[in-house]
Amino acid sequence: MYSEVEYDHILKALSHASRRVILDSIKDEPKTTSQLCKLLSNLDRCTVMQHLNVLENANLIIIKHQGKHRWNYINLFPIKEIHDRWIRKYSIEALDVLSKMKKDLE
């Protein structure tokens, strides 16, 4: 379980659209930093690297160096922690409300 400060880092990292694009693009397979720079062609390499550093500091990506390539892997554990800590609790309550509404309407 993460501390509130760690949750803040994770949520801050997830708050920027470019970082979400990065995470979505490495969800199924890792990408090199060069591949991510091509994907985010509207940003310069320095900006992409800054986004990668934010993601790495939030433990949302794992970096592996192979030769001259830097591979970026997603780390799903912090996202699961956010889900378990915040989303699941509220989605279960929402489902209960919807279920009650359905019964009332019937």
pLDDT 10s digits, 28-43: 999 999 999 999 999 9
Give the pairing type, strands 61-66 and 69-74: antiparallel
What pLDDT score was predicted for residue 83? Answer: 86
**pTM above 0.85?**
no
What pLDDT score was predicted for residue 4? Answer: 82
Q: Yes or no: is domain 4-76 CATH 1.10.10.10?
A: yes
∠ CA(26), CA(27), CA(30), 5° rounding?
Answer: 35
pLDDT 10s digits, 51-86: 999 999 999 999 999 999 999 999 999 999 988 888
